[in-house]
Every structure is written in C-alpha cells, then in structure tokens.
Structure 1
Amino acid sequence: MIDNIWHLRGSVELPPDVTDAITIERLEEFLVKQAKPVRNDTNSSITFYSPLWENPLIANNGLVLAMYDQGNFRIEPAPEGRHLRYDLRSLHGLMFCLAGALLFLVFVGFFRGFAAAVPVCLFVFGWLYGGNMLLAWVRIPSAIRNVVRGS
C-alpha cells in the first residue's frame, strides 16, 4: 500500500450512450493536450509513459497531468454499467521533490546543523510533493469525468 504515495487510482462511470471507441478517442486527445505520448492503444485501454526529464514540469506546469510520468486507463464492465479505471504514477515527481528536499537538508545542515535541517527538509518535501499531489487529487478526477462526458 505504500505505492499509494506515488499512485493515483480511481474510476469514472461511463455514460451508456458513449461507446468504448469514443471514450478511448477522447482520452487520446486529452493525453495529447497534456503532452503525454500514447504508448499502447487498444479498444478498451490506453497507456502513456512520459518521463519528467523528457517533458519538464516547468514547461507544463499548468497541465493537469504534469506531475504524472506513467498512466493506464482501461474500460471495464461492471454490474451497474461500464467504468473507466485509471492508474496514474508520479514516481519521477516524487524523486525530484525528494532530491529538492535533500538539497535543502544539505545546505541548511551545513549552515545551521542537522537538527535544524530535518524539519526544513520535511517541510520542503511536503510543500513540493504534497502540494502538487493535493492539487492533482482534486483536478484529475474532475478532468477525466469531463473528458469521458465530452465536455
């Protein structure tokens, strides 16, 4: 369960009047707008892989999926209707934020001592990664619902 730190998983109920092909097509357009290259595209699933060093956060800061380096969207039947399940990974973002926090640990530790540096390091990591993830947890489900509905 520790991978929940760098994964965002969820599902969206698909409208009955929208076919799987239309849903995948809308998702593909959404991923292109988000600067996420599509790797695998089937009738019921689509994936992307976009390392942060190939697509820097600074250039795409306003994009909903900017923090995520890998993702999988798949359509699954359910008793109450079809669902689009998604699994997005932000492992590279986690590593970059951790590296930034460790940089603060080194500099503050050098000038103020290790005891003063640890709280600063934790704050910086929480601010960098936690802030981005909180925004993503709010924005991404809404964006995916809008894509699926075609709005």
Structure 2
Amino acid sequence: MSGIAAQSIWQQPTPKPVTRMNLRYIDWIWHVRDSVPLPEGQTTGEALDRLEPMLDQMDTTHERSEDTLTFHRKAPVPQDPLSVFEDGVLQIAETAQGKTLRYHLVSKALLFCFLLPLLFVGFGQLTLYVGAYQKAAAEAKEKAGGDKKKKDEAKVLELNPIDKMLGAPAPEKPKKGEGEGRKPSATAAYVFAGIFAFLYVVGRFLEPWLVRRRFRARLADA
C-alpha cells in the first residue's frame, strides 16, 4: 500500500446519493478504528521504531513512511500479536492533546464469524421449508389415494377363512406414525449459528481491547 493510499484511508468519503448505502455504516463489523496517545515527549520516529517489530512476522509485508506504517499479511501465525487482522494502517498524528497513534485494522475472520450465523440460520429455515413442502405433498398424495389405501388396509387386517379356522390371532393395526419418515430438524444449523455468533461477539470486543493494550505496551516499553 502506497503512502497516498494509506493517507486516503483517513479521509472522509465523497458524498453519495441517498439511494446508495455508505459502506462506512456497516464496515465496523470487520474494521477496527481507534487511537492511543503517545507517551509524553515521544517522537514520531521513536513510536514507529517500537511498533514496527510487531509487523516482522511470517507472510507479512509492511511499508513505512514518515509517519505511517501499513501492512498486509497472507497467512497469519498464532504467535502474531495482530494475527486476527489481515490489513492495517498505523499513523502518528498531531492532536490538541499531543501526538497520537491512530490505527485502522481489517479482519476477514470477524467478517466470516458475522456472516456464518446468518448462513446457518438460512440453512435451518430452508430445511424446515423443504420438510413442510414434502409433508404437504405427501398428505395431498395420501388424500388423493385415500379410498384405495383404506381398501388395502382392510384386506391386510382381515383374516382369510383358513386362518380363522386355524384360530390365528387377528393382525394388529400399525401404530400411528409408524413408517413415517424422520421429521426434518434445524437444530444442528441453529447450534452452529449460535457458536459462530458467540465467537463473533467475543472477538469483536476482545480483539480490539487486546490490540489497544498491546499498542500501549509497545509505545511505553523502554
């Protein structure tokens, strides 16, 4: 990412027609934006020197400009302190309170954890819909051939004269529901949806807190 591209990430988006949804209103789902004040007297160069080693990880590329670090990673490793985030911009800015680290991080993992519950809920609803459709079709077919089925059942339940003469017991009627197929269930889909929803909620609050704490520790580390 070039310095110009990194700088543009902080610019306000160009006003768009009201018919088009501004992505900024939903990208908080997988984007993290925050800031951390620099320790008093710390220069921009010193701050970047302390932050840059965090980006020296496998499959991570980063660029440094006068006041900005940008990074991109293909395959994060578990020991990476920023493993959840694939792209990011770390920029030292002057504010009324002094120098501040502003960062913008992007996580596809958070996006997937947000979308997967919706996908599993959709699968669950589709399962129930297909089951209801099949049940309605079976009932309609059963109703259409109801008279024939009753005649066939009567034949099966009625003993022939020879059996009667030999004293054979009358056949039992099949129990209600016997032979029916297993009813479709969306329980498994809802369970997976709940798991991923839980992971998203935990990750969305835990990861930003951990990142902020790590940046603070890096900047304050002597």
TM-score of Structure 1 vs Structure 2, range by shorter chain: 0.7 to 0.9
For the 8 Å contact 1:28–1:38, the answer to whether it is kept is no
In the alignment, what sits opposite 1:21?
45
User: Once superposed, what is the RMSD of the aligned Cα atoms?
Assistant: 2.9
Gaps of at least 5 residues in structure 2 are: 1-24, 128-182
Q: Which has the higher strand share?
A: 1
In the alignment, what sits opposite 1:9?
33
Residue by residue, what CA displacement relative to the aligned partner does 1:13-45 show, whole Å, maximum 9, x if unpaired? 112321111111111112225x57242211100
TM-score (norm 1): 0.76
Task: Give aligned-pair identity as a percent.
Answer: 26
The one of the two structures with greater contact order (alpha-carbon pairs below 8 A, sep at least 6) is 1
For the 8 Å contact 1:73–1:87, the answer to whether it is kept is yes
In the alignment, what sits opposite 2:185?
113
Q: Tell me the number of residue pairs that the alignment of Structure 1 and Structure 2 aligns.
A: 142
Pairwise CA distance, 1:141: 0.7
CA distance 1:129–1:119, change in 2 (3 Å): same
- 1:97 matched to 2:113: yes
In the alignment, what sits opposite 1:84?
101
TM-score (norm 2): 0.54
1:117-136 paired onto structure 2 within 5 Å: 117=188, 119-136=190-207
Residue by residue, what CA displacement relative to the aligned partner does 1:92-135 show, whole Å, maximum 9, x if unpaired? 2135436765479759x869534x35532431221232222332
1:24-35 paired onto structure 2 within 5 Å: 24-32=48-56, 35=58
Gaps of at least 5 residues in structure 1 are: none
